Amino acid sequence: MDEYDYILKILLIGSSGVGKSSILSSYVEQSFDEQTIQTIGVDFKLITREYRNQKFKLQIWDTAGHERFRTITNSYYRGTDAVILVFDLTRENTFEEVEYWLKEITENAADNIIIHLVGNKNDLPKKVKKESIAKLVLNSQIPYIETSAKNNFNLDILFDDIIEQLYRTKITEGDYLPHHADSHKISLLGKSVSNKKRLNRVCC
């Protein structure tokens, strides 16, 4: 039986071609393709990880980075616990567009959302300047990590960091209840009570 203690919804966002779908396949299925198809809608994959003797089921949503499909993805922020904002270390414009994505997070996600910034394709020669990244990280205080979907580099660390942060900031504060707790107040996606309040405020 597929048992777990907590279910966490994680959203991958960022400009087209930065490697969101590749990160997901590499992390969940240990597979990588040099040629991928542009994502046009949204899709998710599930993976269960153990942390502090608890089983965390991660529901990781992959969104479309291309402008034409972006509006479709806005509703997918609902109930999201953590966002992974990806840019491509080899394409400066994808780093410049991080500002756009941060604004989108502010407009669509709950205030207590956890954000991680990812510079992907670190197996290739980098074009984005270290100083620019350092400045952004310092100003925004968002945790940053470099990854390679191709080499499955730092992906475990990235997702473990997210689980750790969710555990520290939400679960230990009693904002979440275990999946198997005898209560129907818990949403399937592990939405916290405060998230629900915020969502109500947005929608009504």
Please report, as ranges, the residues that interact with ligand GTP according to CB under 6 A. Answer: 16-22, 33-36, 38-39, 64-66, 120-121, 123-124, 148-150
Q: Considering beta carbons, is residue 21 or 59 the nearer one to ligand GTP?
A: 21
Smallest separation, CB 34 to ligand GTP (Å)? 5
22 binds Mg ion (CB under 5 A): no
Cα separation, 27 vs 58, whole angstroms: 11
Q: Using CB distances below 5 to 8 A depending on partner kind, what does residue 33 bind out of Mg ion, ligand GTP, none? A: ligand GTP
Smallest separation, CB 173 to ligand GTP (Å)? 33
Cα separation, 146 vs 107, whole angstroms: 26
Cα separation, 52 vs 15, whole angstroms: 34
Q: Considering beta carbons, is residue 80 or 120 the nearer one to ligand GTP?
A: 120
Q: Which of 21, 73, 122, 154 is close enough to bind Mg ion by CB under 5 A?
A: 21
Cα separation, 175 vs 107, whole angstroms: 22
Q: Using CB distances below 5 to 8 A depending on partner kind, what does residue 110 bind out of Mg ion, ligand GTP, none? A: none
Q: Considering beta carbons, is residue 35 or 139 the nearer one to ligand GTP?
A: 35
39 binds Mg ion (CB under 5 A): yes
108 binds Mg ion (CB under 5 A): no
Cα separation, 176 vs 121, whole angstroms: 34
> What 8-state DSSP symbol labels residue 148?
B
What single letter denotes the amino acid at residue 90? T
* Interior/surface letters 34-52, b for 16+ CB within 10 angstroms, e for the rest: eeeeebeebebeeeebeee
Degrees to nearest 5, angle at CA 27 with 23 and 29: 110
Smallest separation, CB 62 to ligand GTP (Å)? 7
Smallest separation, CB 9 to ligand GTP (Å)? 18
Find all residues with CB under 8 Å of 184, minimum gap 6, and list them. none
Task: Catalog residues that contact Mg ion under the rule CB under 5 A.
Answer: 20-21, 39
